[in-house]
Amino acid sequence: MSKDKHQLEPNDIFLDNLAQKKEQELGISSKRKEVKISQKKFLSLFSLFFILIFFLFLFTFYFQAFRVKNFQALANQNKYLSSSLTAGRGVIYDNSGKQLASNRVVFNLYLDLEKATNEELEEIKNIIDFDSGTEKDNIFFKENIDIETLIFLKSRSFPFVFYEQSLVREYENPEVFSHLLGYIGKISKEELERYEDYSLQDYIGKMGLERSYDNYLRKRPGELLAERDSLGNIISEKIVSLPEPGYNLELWIDSDLQIKLYQELEEVLNNIGSNRAAAVAIDPKTGGILSMVSVPGYNNNLFSTKDYQKIQETFEDPRQPFFNRAISGLYATGSTIKPLTGVAALEEGIISSKKQINCKGQITVPHSYDPSIIYNFRDLRVHGLSDMQKAIAESCNVYFYIIGGGYEGQKGLGSSKIKEYLETFGWGKITGIDIPGEKRGFIPSPEWKREIKNENWWTGDTYNFSIGQGDLDITPLQVANSYSIIANKGTFFSPKIVKNILDQEKNIIKKIKPEIIQENLFLEKNLETVREGMRRAVTGEGVPNASARILQSLPVSSAAKTGTAQTSRENRYHNWITVFAPYDDPEIVLTIIIEDVEGIQLASSLVAQRTLDWYFKEKYDN
């Protein structure tokens, strides 16, 4: 018999009864009721959903319309890898084409420490000094590894070792040329703010020509763009821009003369127990610097090897090897001033070239307000009757006391006129040389003494001033440049070290023309009087106590003036000489100063004699 689908079975009724009893025991009602959602709640839910959809649309529109370039850039950063193509810094040549500063290929090392096993790291640590490198984000970096280390690591084929080829600066005879060339170093934040078109990764000239001509010497690296897939694999490479090497410099410097002068200075310094000196050689026809030496020098190659300990030791050296005495050293000039004072007296017409003054070894001057007080201004010896040429040749103090400050009816120049003429010769002024660090020097005056020292200027101050003593401070470069005016008979050049700027094929792209400050500064007859006095200092003609006889042995004619300037230490002097040669058509003016020499010696004169003897023999023999 078939069962109707609506018919209840006895067991269904039984189960329902049991369920009802259980609900009553538990206090649960079996009644069910459907509750409809209110219209208010429905509208709230719908509004919330609409607002979410609206904001999602706004954000989508914002990112697509306004941030698309940013996301494209980020995507490109992940897709493309940009790297620099190495270019060389400009080379520096002397006047004969010898390289003084060039570039050397080195290798930098990177180690991905996370990918190396402990055993592999121990093996590498046996040949690499990890303390001399840097570590960041588990990447060890060491610059300028030696070739033996490179060969060993390549032979082991470590998968976590990477290499980068780069160029470092290398200098020939580093200490000899250090003050001329300078060195390069990582750009500082201050320099980055001061100069345009540089980045934090750039190296920049810190001293010398490397600094003053950095804009020409600096390299412009190229850019290589590598495209990567989603896994980081390189799929293509493209050169965006080619590297541009820096321009080269051709100098006026004669490197052989520079080396010889440095060697001679070192030898004489060792013999006399001094350790500081400077020398400048100029071509008086052009103002070109043929040599510029400052002793001691420093090893500018240290900055390429990154030997920080030795660099620190150099900075702490009490001899101050980084100090360029040739352009920054300030010294009393001693008798070096006398030819300039002589020109001033002749130009002002206070004395004729032939007038003689009787040198008795000193002049005595009574105190202006108390005649019982007598001041003695002494000479080294009694020179007797002396005209200007003899006074220059024998370096007679009395003669220049009198034409400087006046005495017994002979009118003197006075301090103001002496200062005026010294400034005309370029003393106490920047010469404009193309290297950083030049000091201005200082020429005293009555006004300065009253203002700074709160003291009056006396005639005795003028006497001392006229022979290069007192508060006068002048650089060796200024002395050499002023004597160039005497040598070339009246033309004042702004001295220059760089002659030409060259491209990589050594074509001249810029010529550094001689810069004439002024011509025909003085009457030629007055300059000739002074020149002849300097000539007689060498020949001894008519002057028994000629001060530069040591130069008679030179293979060419020469003229010279020596100087001995007192220092704050007893019996210690700054020892000067300035020479120009050949006398009739000068090719070189050489000024030398040796600091802190004990007693009266021919220290600088000996260096000049040895150097110029070699220079002209080399020049004419070849």
Identify which of 377, 342, 515 has the alpha carbon closest to the alpha carbon of residue 458. Answer: 377
Question: In this predicted model, which residue has the larger pLDDT, 157 or 398?
Answer: 398
Q: For 249-309, give the DSSP string.
A: EEES--HHHHHHHHHHHHHHHHHHT---EEEEEE-TTT-BEEEEEEES---TTHHHHT-HH
Q: pLDDT tens, 227-280?
A: 655 555 556 666 666 667 899 999 999 999 999 999 999 999 999 989 999 999
Q: Is the model's pLDDT at 534 over the cut of 50?
A: yes
Identify which of 191, 196, 197, 210 has the alpha carbon closest to the alpha carbon of residue 103. Answer: 210
- pLDDT at position 153, please? 76
pLDDT band for 11, please (50, 70, 90 cuts). very low
Report the range of poorest mean pLDDT among 69-83, 185-199, 243-257, 420-434. 69-83
Average pLDDT, the chain: 85
Residue 224 in any domain: the answer is no
- pLDDT at position 47, please? 73
- pLDDT at position 67, please? 58
293 three-class SS:
strand
AA letter at 495: P
Residue 557 in any domain: the answer is yes
- pLDDT at position 106, please? 79
Distance CA 188, CA 348 (A): 53
Q: Is the model's pLDDT at 149 over the cut of 80?
A: no
Residue 462 in any domain: the answer is yes
Q: Is the model's pLDDT at 93 over the cut of 50?
A: yes
Taken as a whole, the chain contains a residue count of 622
Instruction: Work out the burial of residue 434: count CB atoms within 10 Å of its CB; fewer than 13 is exposed, 13-18 middle, 19 or more buried.
Output: middle
Question: In this predicted model, which residue has the larger pLDDT, 440 or 154?
Answer: 440
AA letter at 282: I
Q: How many CA atoms lie within 13 Å of 610's alpha carbon, on the beta-carbon side?
A: 17
Q: Is the model's pLDDT at 385 over the cut of 50?
A: yes
Residue 163 in any domain: the answer is no
Residue 300 in any domain: the answer is yes
Q: Is the model's pLDDT at 482 over the cut of 70?
A: yes
**Do residues 558 and 579 lie in contact, with contact meaning Cβ atoms separated by under 8 Å?**
yes
pLDDT band for 30, please (50, 70, 90 cuts). very low
- pLDDT at position 10, please? 46
Q: Is the model's pLDDT at 76 over the cut of 70?
A: no
Distance CA 442, CA 444 (A): 6
Answer whether 0.85 is exceeded by the pTM: no
pLDDT band for 72, please (50, 70, 90 cuts). low
Identify which of 566, 568, 560 has the alpha carbon closest to the alpha carbon of residue 599. Answer: 566
- pLDDT at position 6, please? 46
Identify which of 411, 396, 345, 368 has the alpha carbon closest to the alpha carbon of residue 546. Answer: 396
Distance CA 378, CA 361 (A): 6
Number of domains in the chain: 1
Q: pLDDT tens, 277-328?
A: 999 999 999 999 999 999 999 999 998 877 788 999 999 999 999 999 999 9
Distance CA 455, CA 452 (A): 8
Q: pLDDT tens, 546-586?
A: 999 999 999 999 999 999 998 888 889 999 999 999 999 99
Residue 214 in any domain: the answer is no
Identify which of 318, 332, 256, 207 has the alpha carbon closest to the alpha carbon of residue 593. Answer: 332
Tokens standing for residue 292: 């510029």
Distance CA 425, CA 232 (A): 69
For residue 518, give the CATH number of its domain: 3.40.710.10
Mean pLDDT of 60-70: 61
Q: pLDDT tens, 169-223?
A: 999 999 999 999 999 988 888 888 888 778 777 889 999 999 999 999 987 766 6
Residue 563 in any domain: the answer is yes
Identify which of 291, 260, 298, 287 has the alpha carbon closest to the alpha carbon of residue 182. Answer: 298
Query: Residue 168: beta bridge partners?
Result: 104
89 three-class SS:
coil
- pLDDT at position 143, please? 74
- pLDDT > 90 in the chain, percent: 58
Report the range of poorest mean pLDDT among 134-148, 229-243, 398-412, 528-542. 229-243
Report the range of poorest mean pLDDT among 1-5, 350-354, 546-550. 1-5
Residue 319 in any domain: the answer is no
- pLDDT at position 8, please? 46
**Domain with 416 in it:** 255-309+328-621
Q: Is the model's pLDDT at 2 over the cut of 80?
A: no
